[in-house]
Amino acid sequence: MYKAVFIDMDGTLLKSDHSVSEANKLAIHKLQEKGVLVVLISARPLHGILPISKQVVADNMPVVSLNGGYILYKNEIIYEAAVSIPDTISVYNELKGYDVSPMYYSQMDWFAEMENDRIKKEQKITAVKIKIQPFDETVKWWEENKTGPNKILIAGEKHLISAIEQRLNEMHEGKLNIYKSQATYLEVMSLEVSKAKAIQLLIERFGIDKKETIAIGDNYNDKGMIEFAGMGIAMGNAPEEIKLAADYVTDTNNNDGVAKALHQHFF
């Protein structure tokens, strides 16, 4: 019997219009009534998750944001990890000359050097207003707060994101977790941050064996948790590589894929 389900948001729980279908809500509510731990686990910042999580899961469920860089449970942050300031500066310097938009997510704040259409797209799904300021000022903020970004998000055209992913992996291999959350988004985090690590931390806290877990996702930043979980489920809209990593492939995010997967394995 599975005791915990970890569900990605964009491209998985959410339809393309960022809404949650009634079928998905109902299936999740039924699971919680059965005493199953249901955790939303997303690349989004916490303030981009909470307006949705309040509709879907109980208040006493953990919420995993920024790919595991910032985890909330019962109104307390129970885990946080950040990219070091030197590594962040190195990534910033590597991005010079590329037509991309880096965003830096730190706890409940986020920063960028300029506003453009890519930033505005993210702002639409983020309740907190982005702080537009020179990078040097953001570095000073991190120094004063003795932290760094929990996640660096790099948005750009597909060919540039692929080139940058290769370049950053060459420069920071073994020092940072770097992978796409979609073809036009590259995520950069500490080695202590991944969705699989977040699952491991939470199941240890709740005394659940990983064989008793399900993870559902649709993209490259979900691959690790899909492989880690007792039952890894890929969405029908996932890239082929993610489907091949999964134990089971469900329907698409626009066709109640999460609800169908939960019915397959619980009801």
132-165 core/surface letters (b: 16 or more CB in 10 A; e: else): eeebeebbebbeeeebbbbbbbbbbeeebbeebb
For residues 140 and 232, membership in a common domain is answered with no
Task: Count the neighbouring beta carbons within 10 Å of the beta carbon of residue 258.
Answer: 26
Mean per-residue pLDDT, 177-185: 92
Q: What phi and psi values does residue 189 have, to the nearest 5 degrees?
A: -140, 170
For residues 177 and 129, membership in a common domain is answered with yes
86, with CB counted inside 10 A (0-12, 13-18, 19+), is: exposed
Mean per-residue pLDDT, 40-52: 94
For residues 257 and 184, membership in a common domain is answered with no
**Dihedral through CA 156, CA 157, CA 159, CA 164, nearest 10?**
0
Mean per-residue pLDDT, 65-89: 96
For residues 45 and 105, membership in a common domain is answered with no
For residues 109 and 177, membership in a common domain is answered with yes
Residues annotated catalytic, as ranges = 8
Point out the domain boundary residue: 126, 157, 190.
190
Note down the domain range covering 42: 4-80+193-266
For residues 60 and 135, membership in a common domain is answered with no
Mean per-residue pLDDT, 50-61: 94
Contact partners, residue 118, CB within 8 Å, separation at least 6:
101, 155, 156
> Residue 204's domain is classified under what CATH number?
3.40.50.1000
Pull the structure tokens for residue 129.
């207003």
For residues 253 and 226, membership in a common domain is answered with yes
Q: How far apart are CA 97 and CA 163, in angstroms?
A: 12
> Residue 172's domain is classified under what CATH number?
3.30.1240.10
Point out the domain boundary residue: 158, 173, 190.
190
Mean per-residue pLDDT, 198-216: 98
For residues 126 and 55, membership in a common domain is answered with no
Point out the domain boundary residue: 190, 211, 228.
190
Residue 54 β-bridge partners? none
Domain count, the chain: 2
Residue 174: what pLDDT? 87
For residues 110 and 166, membership in a common domain is answered with yes
For residues 201 and 72, membership in a common domain is answered with yes
Q: What is the pLDDT of residues 124-176, one digit of tens each?
A: 888 889 999 999 999 999 999 999 999 999 999 999 999 999 999 999 988 99
Please check the confidence at residue 1 and state whether its pLDDT lies above 90: no
Q: How far apart are CA 250 and CA 115, in angstroms?
A: 37
